[in-house]
Amino acid sequence: MVAGAIEAMSAQLEKLGNPSSLHTQGRAVRKELEQAREQLAKAIGCHASEIIFTGSGTEANNTALKGLFWKNRPLGRNVVVISAIEHHAILDPAHWLHDHDGAEIVSIAVTEKGIVDLDALKSLIDTRGDEIAVISVMHSNNETGVIQPIAQIVQLANLAQIPVHSDSVQSFCKVPLSFSELGLTAMTLSAHKIGGPLGIGILVLKRGIDIPAILHGGGQERDIRSGTLNAPSIVGFAVASSLPIPVEQIAQLREVFATGILKAIPDAYINGGSANEHLPGIVNITFPGTESDTLLLLLDGQGISASTGSACTAGVQRPSHVLLAMGHNDKTARSSLRFSLGATTTRLEIEKVIELMPAVINQARTANLR
């Protein structure tokens, strides 16, 4: 967590008082919580009353997708549209709606660059727009960093009055992001992606839109998310959102890293590398002839953390659904690694990885031949 957020959160942890209580202590906590809400609203480009605090980004995604589906299904809209590259926190609730609630799920393909195919979405809306309950497309992808054309998606959706939700967990505070300018109905954010605390998320839900809740109880947060508000985490989230992330510096390092790796390993290639817009700190690289699990362990042995982006179920590594959707086969998807750069990443670290990489790749290729 970033230092300022830790301090603000620690100070709040010492305060007694449930923000929903009417006594003096409760009102004092409520006041600080509402100031944090205002601060976050400014950073998000929404109205404070549009913020619904949740326990995670996963919860916000579930609440938005299920809520908008349940709201619109009685109007004859039984189709849930997602992209093929969504995080599991959207994929899985969508599949749940199919299995338990009879929703029809349509997954929109992405191009080789990892960008949602707008033509496919347009023709779906042209032919079946009045059947669609909700469209959910992430603002940027967590594995490739590729940014999605959300404003254009909203424009298309508006033609058939379809609400659009966007999982914007990866984009917040890293690239320009404004809820009102995008014209979204709903948006998801999570504090731990910006140096805030774990276990606190936001569902931004347009004013005047009411959706059925998943949690029922005390009626907090417009009766959409009951439960005592986590004031310390909310205050920590707000402070984290106000501290600038050195995105220029991170983007420059990403450039140095990508160029250096491609020079060191000439047959390696960057997934989504030809997309015009991407996050400053994520780069996903395929190293042909390797197994990403082996690479990961070899790099870990050198003190370098990378990730495969694939889900591990019952010990079986699966290839990334994001890379498969971008045209990879199982083998090449399994030869890919995601590197994340942040505010604390240094040029020295980047140079060290570039220098180590040829030997690591050789070792991984030899292991793969055995």
Ligand X SMILES: Cc1ncc(COP(=O)(O)O)c(C=O)c1O
Closest distance of CB 190 from ligand X, Å: 3
Stretch near ligand X under the rule CB under 6 A, chosen from 39-47, 106-114, 165-173, 259-267:
165-173
341, 250 contact by CB (below 8 A): yes
Max CA distance (Å), the chain: 70
The residue from 142, 292, 310, 336 that contacts ligand X (CB under 6 A) is: 142
Q: Which residue is nearest to ligand X (CB)?
A: 57
CA–CA gap between residue 250 and residue 267 (Å, rounded):
25
- The verdict on 87 binding ligand X (CB under 6 A) reads yes
Q: How far from 154 is each of 39, 121, 150, 340, CA to CA, in Å?
A: 26, 11, 6, 29
Closest distance of CB 141 from ligand X, Å: 7
- The verdict on 171 binding ligand X (CB under 6 A) reads no
Token pair 């338990």 is found at: 100
- The verdict on 169 binding ligand X (CB under 6 A) reads yes
270, 323 contact by CB (below 8 A): no
For residue 33, give the nearest of 241, 233, 240 by alpha carbon.
233
The residue from 170, 290, 308, 345 that contacts ligand X (CB under 6 A) is: 170
> Residue 1 or 256: which CB sits closer to ligand X?
1
> Residue 146 or 258: which CB sits closer to ligand X?
146
- The verdict on 56 binding ligand X (CB under 6 A) reads yes
- The verdict on 57 binding ligand X (CB under 6 A) reads yes
- The verdict on 175 binding ligand X (CB under 6 A) reads no
316-317 and 269-270 as β-strands: parallel, antiparallel, unpaired? unpaired
- The verdict on 190 binding ligand X (CB under 6 A) reads yes
Stretch near ligand X under the rule CB under 6 A, chosen from 37-45, 52-60, 279-287, 321-329:
52-60
Beta strands (DSSP E) in 14-83 are: 51-54, 79-83
Closest distance of CB 356 from ligand X, Å: 27
Count, residues near ligand X per rule CB under 6 A:
12
Q: Pick the catalytic residue: 11, 16, 297, 312? A: 312
The residue from 8, 65, 135, 138 that contacts ligand X (CB under 6 A) is: 138
Cβ neighbours of residue 7 closer than 8 Å, sequence gap 6 or more:
239
Q: What are phi and psi of 312, to 5 degrees?
A: -110, 110
Q: How far from 85 is each of 21, 113, 138, 307, 309, CA to CA, in Å?
A: 42, 12, 8, 17, 12
CA–CA gap between residue 223 and residue 146 (Å, rounded):
35
> Residue 39 or 142: which CB sits closer to ligand X?
142
State the burial class of residue 84 (Cβ atoms within 10 Å of its Cβ: 0-12, 13-18, 19+): middle
CA–CA gap between residue 206 and residue 32 (Å, rounded):
23
> Residue 110 or 357: which CB sits closer to ligand X?
110
- Within 195-224, the residues that bind ligand X by CB under 6 A are 201
Residue 46 known to be catalytic: no
> Which amino acids are annotated catalytic?
312
Q: Which residues are near ligand X by CB under 6 A? A: 56-58, 87, 89, 138, 142, 167, 169-170, 190, 201
